[in-house]
Structure 1
Amino acid sequence: MIKFSKKHVFFAATSTIVEWYDFMLFAYLTPIIAHNFFPHVDKYAGILMTFGVFAAGFFMGPIGSMVMGSVGDRLGRKRALVISLLMMIFPMLVIAFLPTYNSIGILAPLILILMRLFQGFSIGGSYGGVMVLMIESAKSNRRGFIASFATMSSGTGVFFASLVVMILSGILGSTALDIWGWRVGYLVGLILAIIALIMRLIIPESHSFEKLKEAGEIALTPVRSMFKEQRKPLFFAIALSAYGNIAYYLILSYLETHFIDLGYSEFFSLAIITVFSLLFSFSAPLWGLMSDFFGRKILVKISIVLYIIFSYPAFIMMTMGPVYLMLSTAILSIPLMLIWGSYGAAAPELFQARYRYSGNALSYNIGNSFFGGTVPFVATLLLVVVGSASAPAWLLIISSIIMIPIVYYMPETRFKEV
């Protein structure tokens, strides 16, 4: 029986908050970044370009996951997580002091893109590894509950990013926030990142990796071997990640811009997303515990049904006033919570221990990068092309229909030994 270590969970979760805070801060500053770095184009073009830069960071995720996944499976989970966080600190510092387009011209957006690529590489090698560290440090009947703290920590980082922007907007006003206030958010993240680095430096290694090391079963080429021996687990994990991230970025990233476009104030829009980011974050252990009792698959199945039935009506309700907007956001958020309550344990449990860091990190980042990261861009494009405020709902409906046969054939991993 694996001895549960609270230290594993606390340090891994706390340090992960910082990474997701910094990575998602960009999304909540989209209108401001568009104005400062793409001022030579119209409103929609600027937002599309900014979402394009946002998506660019995600495309480095799979590369980061393969490089750091290999480190995590060969040299240890802890070492990979420390290196990943170090690579997040540098772009935070650069973006905080980066001159705008009006100061240095085209160099400004080019440097911004480069820093997003650095951030994408960093988080690509980190988040999947945090899940692995957690399930490898938990009792077999509590892996869903413990792994959900990875979801809680990422959600807390997202919540904290939206909260900071909302507070800055309320205190400074839109003009000061646009000129210089947005940089304060990055400076806050920089300070927190240094604290998080100290936590990761003293975090203990996972029990499962230590057992592999003692038994001499460390894979010499974990990424290459994982592609040969773990194809089915990789497929199912990618599908879960893609589905979860499509829902996640549509609801907790894109909707803030969508609300503003519908005529709601920036402060009100941020407040709504902040509240639901908080609910998403702190309800994760509840859904994780449910996955331990009822299984991983059932939560995903319920989410599929809810999204197919309620996505389109929810987007129509957003145009009917503030009360209906809050209700529609709640309707869309509940199945999102179910998916991620299951995902934290379900995805890494699919893989063998010697390939787990590589497999889980890569599958998460393929789904996150090629599906989730492009959602704000695709949703905005759908809105412009179709001309209907409910057009983004089809992203949830179509992805849910595709997931039906995948979840049917996916193995239940609740009782699997890790």
Structure 2
Amino acid sequence: MNRFSKRHVFFASASTIVEWYDFMLFAYLTPVIASVFFPDFSKYTAILMTFGVFAAGFFMGPIGSVIMGSFGDRFGRKKALIISVVMMILPMFVIAILPTYQTIGMLAPAILVLMRLLQGFSIGGSYGGVMVFMIESTKPDRRGFIASFATMSSGTGVFLASLVAMILFGIFSQEVLDLWGWRIGYIIGLMLALLALLMRMLIPESYSFEQLEAQGDVSVKPVREMFSIQKKPLFFAIALSAYANIMYYLVLSYLSSYFVELNYSEFFSLAIVTIFSLIFSFSAPLWGYLSDCLGRKPLIKFSIIIYLIFSYPSFMIMGMGIASLILAMIVLSVPLMAIWGAYGAAAPELFNTKYRYSGNGLSYNIGNSFLGGTIPFVATSLVVSTGSLLAPAWLLVVASIIMIPIVYFMPETRYVDV
């Protein structure tokens, strides 16, 4: 059963790093993209429009997960993952050579939006599939550990994108960046994407899908059957994804701007969040291993309890100095690591093999795009409307309260046969 060698773990993880690098590079190059593709607008409006283009990619995720999930459940995980990389290569190439607004006018941002939608479609059809591929290709007692490499690799890809952007901003003048320097990031991404394609071509098909295919039990309409037969697993998986992504975006995205409101410098605020993001990514295998030893639900329950008890006190001490802020970040980051350590295996394990790619991909993208991704906006709105800097803490508390009955009724999947 276990044909998933260390080389295959590396190939699957490395290719996911590349996908998230390609997807997130756009965000880190926002100032340059805004000036190059929206030069006729004010700086603020151009940046806002660029963020709108960036957000468009997220909303294509659920569509990509449905279409590619259905393909992966019908024709194999490996084929679906290969196609998703190919669909990432095309927009990387087009963006790298895309003429600017000054050359072809409004056609330039129109093509940019189209390519961003294709990137969102690709990542939507891939990330959940990688988790499925990993748990279906390893021993039952190592599924949490192996699946956690998907979490680690996505975080690494985001960090790599920020690093490349930082280097480009550091070595080029604004004039050179606007002229051609920004394209280097996409050229690097294109070369990495070609390497990722090779890696995915070298990995085997998952054991579970091969068994399903050998038995002649592959579903012809997996998405439709999933909605009909697997309503409860889909609900539990969406809830897990929503909870995990709400915590992620609040702790490792929103807080960087929140710290500025507490009168910390922008550099310090970004540095703290970046450091904890790296810790989050590279600690994922440890928490995945713990989920194999203790079960998925104990880690989820641990996260809920910590957030219920310590969210409000953590926000109270953040403005009391650097030591207090770091302590608060530790308290909020540990349960975040725990929930993601469990999520990588728990969500795909909820589904029958026949519908696993579709179910896991769709549930992840609904939680990520429509719930988790909106949290920075919701948290900011709460602060403005209430006038209290402690208001975001209640998001953590309320989300944790909602999760209590859900986790109570959710089955433990540690020992299920996939």
Query: Any idea what the Cα deviations from partners look like across 1:255-282, whole Å, max 9, x if unmatched?
Result: 3444456565554444333322211111
Provide the rounded CA distance (Å) in 1 between the counterparts of 2:175 and 2:332.
Answer: 32
- The aligned counterpart of 1:367 is 367
Query: Any idea what the Cα deviations from partners look like across 1:222-258, whole Å, max 9, x if unmatched?
Result: 1111111111101000110111111222233333444
Query: Any idea what the Cα deviations from partners look like across 1:348-392, whole Å, max 9, x if unmatched?
Result: 100111111111111111111111222333334444444544443
- The aligned counterpart of 1:304 is 304
- Residue range with higher mean Cα deviation, 106-115 or 135-144: 106-115
- The aligned counterpart of 1:11 is 11
Q: Which amino acid aligns with 1:5?
A: S
Q: Contact (CA 8 Å) 1:170, 1:267: kept in 2 or not?
A: no
Provide the rounded CA distance (Å) in 1 between the counterparts of 2:310 and 2:26.
Answer: 29
* Deviation for aligned residue 1:183: 3.8
1:30-49 correspondence runs (5 A): 30=30, 33=33, 40-41=41-42, 43=44, 49=49
Consecutive unaligned residues in structure 1, runs of 5 or more: none
Are residues 1:116 and 2:116 paired? yes
Q: Which amino acid aligns with 1:409?
A: F
- Residue range with higher mean Cα deviation, 391-400 or 18-27: 391-400
Provide the rounded CA distance (Å) in 2 between the counterparts of 1:366 and 1:353.
Answer: 20
- The aligned counterpart of 2:56 is 56
Provide the rounded CA distance (Å) in 1 between the counterparts of 2:79 and 2:330.
Answer: 39
> Residues 69 and 163 (structure 1 numbering): CA distance in 2 closer, same or farther, change over 3 Å?
same
> Residues 178 and 22 (structure 1 numbering): CA distance in 2 closer, same or farther, change over 3 Å?
same
Provide the rounded CA distance (Å) in 2 between the counterparts of 1:70 and 1:94.
Answer: 27
Are residues 1:238 and 2:273 paired? no
Q: Contact (CA 8 Å) 2:35, 2:43: kept in 1 or not?
A: no
Q: Contact (CA 8 Å) 1:55, 1:374: kept in 2 or not?
A: no
> Residues 389 and 192 (structure 1 numbering): CA distance in 2 closer, same or farther, change over 3 Å?
farther
Are residues 1:329 and 2:356 paired? no
- The aligned counterpart of 2:292 is 292
Provide the rounded CA distance (Å) in 1 between the counterparts of 2:102 and 2:328.
Answer: 39
- The aligned counterpart of 2:131 is 131
> Residues 161 and 310 (structure 1 numbering): CA distance in 2 closer, same or farther, change over 3 Å?
farther
Q: TM-score, normalised by structure 2?
A: 0.89
* Deviation for aligned residue 1:304: 1.5
Q: Which amino acid aligns with 2:76?
A: G
Query: Any idea what the Cα deviations from partners look like across 1:164-217, whole Å, max 9, x if unmatched?
Result: 333344444778667765443333222211111111111111111111111111
Provide the rounded CA distance (Å) in 2 between the counterparts of 1:272 and 1:181.
Answer: 28
- The aligned counterpart of 2:412 is 412
- The aligned counterpart of 2:187 is 187
Q: Which amino acid aligns with 2:227?
A: F
Identity percentage of aligned residues: 71
Q: Contact (CA 8 Å) 1:12, 1:200: kept in 2 or not?
A: yes
Q: Which amino acid aligns with 1:184?
A: I
* Deviation for aligned residue 1:62: 1.1
1:44-193 correspondence runs (5 A): 49-98=49-98, 107-172=107-172, 181-193=181-193
Q: Which amino acid aligns with 1:24?
A: M
Provide the rounded CA distance (Å) in 2 between the counterparts of 1:314 and 1:403.
Answer: 20
> Residues 378 and 189 (structure 1 numbering): CA distance in 2 closer, same or farther, change over 3 Å?
farther
Q: Contact (CA 8 Å) 1:8, 1:134: kept in 2 or not?
A: no
* Deviation for aligned residue 1:309: 3.0
Query: Any idea what the Cα deviations from partners look like across 1:269-298, whole Å, max 9, x if unmatched?
Result: 443333222111111111011111111011
Alignment RMSD (CA, Å): 2.8
Q: Contact (CA 8 Å) 2:233, 2:351: kept in 1 or not?
A: yes
Provide the rounded CA distance (Å) in 2 between the counterparts of 1:105 and 1:337.
Answer: 45
Are residues 1:340 and 2:340 paired? yes
Q: TM-score, normalised by structure 1?
A: 0.89
Q: Contact (CA 8 Å) 2:287, 2:338: kept in 1 or not?
A: yes
- Residue range with higher mean Cα deviation, 65-74 or 259-268: 259-268
Provide the rounded CA distance (Å) in 2 between the counterparts of 1:389 and 1:37.
Answer: 36
Provide the rounded CA distance (Å) in 2 between the counterparts of 1:41 and 1:318.
Answer: 35
Q: Which amino acid aligns with 2:332?
A: L
- Residue range with higher mean Cα deviation, 396-405 or 198-207: 396-405
* Deviation for aligned residue 1:308: 2.7
Provide the rounded CA distance (Å) in 2 between the counterparts of 1:173 and 1:326.
Answer: 34
Provide the rounded CA distance (Å) in 2 between the counterparts of 1:178 and 1:59.
Answer: 28
Consecutive unaligned residues in structure 2, runs of 5 or more: none
Provide the rounded CA distance (Å) in 2 between the counterparts of 1:301 and 1:15.
Answer: 32
